[in-house]
Structure 1
Amino acid sequence: MTVRAVQVIAGADVIAYHSARHGRSIARSIAAEHLRADHIEEALIYPVTTESTDHPGGYRGALDEFYESAAARLAAHLDAGRTVAVISEGDPLFYGSYQHMHKRLAHRYPTEVIPGVTSVSAAAARLGKPLAEADEVLTILPGTLPEEELTARLASTDTAVVMKLGRTFPTVRRAMERSGRLPEAHYVERATMTGERTEKLADIDAETVPYFSVSVVPSRIADLPPGTATSTETAMTAETATATTTTTTTTTTGEPSGHGEVVVVGTGPAGPLWLTPESRGALAAAEDLVGYTTYLDRVPLRPGQRRHASDNKVESERAELALDLARRGRRVAVVSGGDPGIFAMATAVLEVACQAPYRAIPVRVLPGVTAANAAAARAGAPLGHDYAVISLSDRLKPWEVIAERLHAAAGADLALALYNPGSRSRTWQVGKARELLLEHRAPDTPVILARDIGGPEESVRTVHLADLDPHQVDMRTLLIVGSSQTQAARRDDGTQVVWTPRRYPEG
């Protein structure tokens, strides 16, 4: 208890505390030595805790009625001129029972809230492990969340505390396992109180877990040796890839982890806002990051991680480097833009991973928001019906193949998402694609030019197919060409939306 809490209890006329129907109050037991014989005690006993109720308003109705009644009891003391101290374990405004009294009384009577030590801080202290360091993000979760939600949030955060275990423990444990956090998770029961217990979460029997227990996934940074560098950059080119593979098999953190894997992660078209929780977690857990420099720059620096950056022309070398690192026990994330399986790094990694030296290395591909979906969302719903995705780059396939596919897709009346439409060295493909498409589409077919979606220079414009200007298209632009059914309209607020109806005309 804080000094101020002891002072307030000493000066109060009435001591109020919540408890279940068994009448035992943890808050009262903590403050017991400071209570006097002349204190008036108000035991605010919940009518229900976790069991069912026949109250006409259900569980919530029963509790709301109880809170109103409890507040009225305290108000009667206050109206009589008595000072009331409502004692609450932990902090009164952190998942505390007192907050329901606060909502009903604080606007009517002078109120002082005395902060307390939360179970979160107490658990970390008993474990002797920091909760968060540097730029790490701490997430506090109630175990009552659905399992999928728990899993996603555990996967995406740096450190976490899950509260309110008890009956939720099996769900929490599964979420820890599914998110890959179980090996890091600790269990703390009744921190700083009689019956305290601390163990690894994986070793806990669910039948022994009370409500007053928490799970802690502590700081990863805290486990690094003192003086560990924030991040080590390794530049990689086609000429230096082999040397890099042999010189970066250990890091400033010491020995490899012993359980290597490669995770191919899509960052979305522009970084954190469109990064999935699973991908965020994989990037945080990786010991090595491998990728094109532009995409690596989207990932926050983390102590102990090594970055192996390269230009965008050495995909096979990047894949081989990542797999070599994993073969030596490293957890490696190959960073890709958009979705890694759409014109991106997943193919390169899997091609190499199926070769003899690497076939036993675990490889996972995590989905990301691809540029076509991001651009379509900005424009409205132009891909609302069947559509095709085609790259206009002829670096890896002949233009004749691209032209044949454009003819086939346009002839089938599919909307089109056109990736890699142009660059400094490829300037004629967009004009040629426009000519081919006009053989199948009306001149006023909507075409969306989506550039730098999600980035600082984002722009989305809609033009007619006949007016598509190749000089306005670069490698940061994605084109979406509508089908014969695609419509464009301007709304009352001046915005233009484009959509392709889901219903196609018969005949």
Structure 2
Amino acid sequence: MAGRLYGVGLGPGDPELVTVKAARLIAAADVVAYHAARHGRSNARAIAAAYLRVGQIEEPLIYPVTTETTDHPGGYQGAIDEFYAASAERLAAHLDAGRDVVVLAEGDPFFYGSYMHMHKRLAHRYEAEVVPGVTSVSAASAVLGRPLMERDETLTVLPGTLPPDELAAKLAGTDSAAIMKLGRTFEGVREALDRAGRLDDAWYVERATTDKQRHGRVADIDPATVPYFSLALLPSPAAAAFVAPAEPAGAHPGQVTVVGLGPGAREWLTPEAQAALAEADDVVGYAPYVDRVPLNPRQRRHASDNRVEAERAAFALDLAKHGRRVAVVSSGDPGVFAMAAAVLEVSEDPHWKDVPIRIVPGLTAAQAVASRAGAPLGHDFCIMSLSDRLKPWDVIASRLASAASADLVIAIYNPASQSRKEQLVRARDLLLEHRDPQTPVVVGRDVGGPQESVRVTTLGDLDPATIDMRCLLIIGSSQTRVVTRGDGSAQVFTPRSYPS
């Protein structure tokens, strides 16, 4: 007997707005499916997490593209159609095996919801039920404390993807409106509201009912800070008599968020990091890293030299103590030779004990260089810095020798600088006491940046004079191999197994 398909609406974000029926079906399901972008995190799953149980099969349906380009022969639509067809067949396999499948949907499944694409492909083949949820439009209206419509008024729901001229015409002919799908469309939506003479009446709501909720007048919102999960509302004309509820005292207490920007490329900045940067009042960091953060005129930017980590941390903590939301930015991951440890170390002072500190991870330079070269970190490895500014050379040499004798792959940060050339020469000599001169070495420079280069050499041929502070080295183990591909390019990998 085939299983049953459920499209379950979860509401706009607050887990307490999940209906009793939705919670019951989620807990009882054999299979729980949810859509997610390529980073793998799913807002729908996060909302439903409290209702999941151990032993359930999870089916993450990962979009192949979201807003980026694709080389699929059918273009963007072809890639999406193929993805929906493949996802439906994955769920059909469970249904054919007699398993009940719940597909999680933010808001309502049939209100701009991804579930409808599964329903169209499966509901004629299996018994299916849709469980409605609270829509983001209803949530936004509640957040603002303003009704959508009353008596004979008309509410129009519009996608922000419409051309501004067409959107303006529709806005001019309705009493109330909800405009969905903002993010990149926000400037066009604001232009349409202005053309329709409705900008002064329009409100903005972001991530309604969640702990990251934000709202204000559309005219006052910086387009650079607008995520996809937001909407614009034209409430009932009668709502002018209503006053939007003030945010409670302490709704946005000061805090420090240490944010990893990744190694350089914008596409390597995580959605969590993007959100943290958008929410910040102040951006603090080493000047080149602050410059990598998109300019937002609402924010204050505080750039400083790279050798004042403790002072920078104290400055950020002081801003937060006075109610500011501060993003301290680091390249790569903030917990790897970067600002997370500096902030936490300074925060040990009782003066800062009440300041909340959050760490947002980033893609490390070691991971980025490794990915460009192949998989040199495929087995046990360690990460070391050759900088002796904060630790003596004797400690570096001892650790380097231990790592080399243990036959670990070694990722080396800060290998050289304008004033520090000799350390890499000494490190290479030390490594050659334990490693064959033919050991593969990956040299990545400015990976993710405009001057990226990656080359593969050997430990014996490594020339320290060609290395600077923008380089990262990966020294292979005795098992690391170099494979020449059909096009003549070299790929480096370290096997997952190790000889006994």
TM-score (norm 1): 0.56
1:319 correspondence with 2:383: no
- Give the SS at the match of 2:329: strand
1:343 and 2:337 correspond: yes
Deviation at 1:405? 0.5
User: 2:245 aligned with 1:181, yes or no?
Assistant: no
- 1:456/1:134 CA distance change after superposition, 3 Å: same
Moved over 4 A (4+): 48-52, 60-63, 89-95, 114-128, 131-139, 159-162, 182-203
Residue equivalent to 1:241: none
Distance 1:333 1:502, change over 3 A: same
- How many residues get paired? 330
Alignment partner, residue 251 of structure 1: none
Q: Partner of 1:485: helix, strand, or coil? A: coil
2:123 aligns to what?
59
1:61 deviates by 6.0
Per-residue CA deviations over 1:18-42 (Å, capped at 9, x if unaligned) read xxxxxxxxxxxxxxxxxxxxxxxxx
Aligned to 1:328: 322
Query: What CA distance in whole angstroms lies between the structure 2 residues aligned with 1:476 and 1:410?
Result: 23
CA distance in 1, matches of 2:482, 2:183: 49
Which residue in the other structure is 1:207 paired with?
Answer: none
Q: Secondary structure at the match of 1:304?
A: coil
Bigger radius of gyration: 1
Give the match's secondary structure for 2:123: helix
Paired with 2:300 and 2:481, the residues of 1 have a C-alpha distance of: 48
CA distance in 2, matches of 1:117, 1:420: 54
Report how far residue 177 of structure 1 moved: 1.8
- What's 2:463 paired with? 469
Contact 1:189 1:198 in 2 (8 A): no
Matched, 1:289 2:353: no
In the TM superposition, what whole-angstrom CA distance separates every residue of 1:282-303 from its partner, at most 9, and x where no partner exists?
A: 1111111111100001011112
Aligned equivalents of 2:476, 2:337: Cα separation in 1: 21
Offset of 1:354 from its aligned partner?
A: 1.5
Distance 1:419 1:138, change over 3 A: farther
SS of alignment partner, residue 394 of structure 1: coil
2:440 to 438, 446, 449: 446
**CA-atom RMSD, angstroms?**
4.5
Match of 1:260 in 2: 254
**Partner residue, 1:45:** none
Structure 1, unaligned runs of 5 or more: 1-47, 64-88, 96-113, 140-158, 163-171, 204-255
Distance 1:380 1:202, change over 3 A: farther
Measured in 1, the distance between the counterparts of 2:350 and 2:172 equals 50
**Contact 2:263/2:365, CA 8 A, preserved across alignment:** yes
- 1:214-253 per-position Cα deviation (integer Å, ceiling 9, x unaligned): xxxxxxxxxxxxxxxxxxxxxxxxxxxxxxxxxxxxxxxx
**Aligned mate of 2:295, from 287, 296, 301:** 301
CA contact (8 A) 1:391 1:419 kept: yes
* Residues in 1 aligned to 2:416 and 2:237: alpha-carbon distance in whole angstroms: 67
Query: What is the CA–CA distance in structure 2 between the aligned matches of 1:289 and 1:488, rounded to whole Å?
Result: 42
8 Å contact 2:158–2:177 — kept in the other structure? no
What TM-score results when the alignment is normalised by the length of structure 2? 0.57
For 1:137-216, what aligned pairs fall within 5 Å after superposition? 177=210, 180-181=212-213
The percentage of counterpart residues that share the same residue type is 50
User: Alpha-carbon deviation of 1:494?
Assistant: 2.1
Alignment-derived partner of residue 50 in structure 2:
none
Instruction: Tell me if structure 2 keeps the 8 A contact 1:262–1:331.
Output: yes
Q: Out of 266, 277, 295, which is 1:272 matched to?
A: 266
Q: Distance in 2 between matches of 1:482 and 1:305?
A: 44
2:374 to 347, 359, 380: 380
